[in-house]
Chain A
């Protein structure tokens, strides 16, 4: 199906474990983003990518790693999970040609670190 998907939708992991959240989009959008959503903080940008092999830090990058070897995929890795990384994570994509800047969000991954 066309769109943007995230997996897993729910994940429980232990402190210190490595966990990878997957994001896949079928539109061939240039830009992809990772946000975390916490109560009282809205959407905070973790990392973003302007194209394959081009990534950059957002507002809260510490403790996270990203890669983008293919346009359609943008995985987010927590190298050593901490309880403060318990959150809902959203992946998004956009294509800024034409000046729209609309971002299309995935359904989110609810991550709990115990």
Chain B
């Protein structure tokens, strides 16, 4: 069973600031590391994902940084906006079974 530890549990950031959420995993056999974003009353939706053949992936204000040796990957949200306020989940897939283990989630609040 893949273990995924996500931190922090909650995060408050001022508008325009940088939000950083971290995720640590155990099994090194996986090749796809996504972050999901969930707004209140909605289901999670894929935000950005990375494969371990690169150390960083950027999409707009969102960046994943991947550290294979440390078995960690993190989500950076640059110029955080109130509309980014949501719960963020990292995940690590068990490719043999097609299922994923999710972190416990980080509730991000961006204050105007």
Contact = CB atoms under 8 A, between A and B. Distances in A.
Interface of A: 30-31, 33, 35, 40-43, 45, 48, 50, 56, 58-59, 90, 92, 94, 96, 99-108
Interface residues of B, number: 26
A96 B46 contact: no
A90 B97 contact: no
Contacts, number: 60
B99 A42 contact: no
A108 B6 CA distance: 23
Contacts of B91: 103
A99 B32 contact: yes
Interface stretch (B14-22, B62-70, B73-81, B101-109): B101-109
Given A40-B104, A99-B31, A58 B43 contact: no
Interface of B: 1, 6, 31-32, 34, 36, 41-46, 49, 89, 91, 93, 95, 97-105
B98 A41 contact: no
B49 to A, nearest CB: 7
B96 to A, nearest CB: 10
A101 B32 contact: yes
Contact of B103 (A40, A42, A48): A42
